[in-house]
Structure 1
């Protein structure tokens, strides 16, 4: 994947994180790796990069084997400028396998 394509893909993932957390209140590695078909290590790296954009947005919570980033009270979308539900519907149309 070229650098430009990778950055565009990362932007889509960051927007997805914004929308998913906005609507569902959490995100984890499994959500990203399963939907986008990426390795768990890559998904973890993308979540870490997203968190760097606005550290106060998410809090890491470990509950047994179910670790996740949860929405903090001060959450604000960082990358996504459109409505979260519309964006998620579009992403699911493209990436979700039946």
Structure 2
């Protein structure tokens, strides 16, 4: 089955502190539902965008970097029969996390 990346940009999940426990519970409920359905592969929130960049020569540069583009705030990977199924899971995640989700099919390489 194809796998899909469901993600949201850092900063798009703007929730008052007092509502975080409800959002946390709702997000975990969707994850449990996806696990029970056998479609959950992996997911999570990303720690602050302090990425290290590894160049082609192996040199490493540490962050944080000024954000000049949108960066991921969190993601889920689901293994589902169709894009329509991925969109349905994205809708559930969007409702639980209270922010829009992007859906992209993950390209596969049969040689790997």
**TM-score w.r.t. length of structure 2:** 0.29
The structure with the largest alpha-carbon Rg is: 2
- Relative contact order (C-alpha < 8 Å, sep 6+): which is higher? 2
Greater strand content: 2
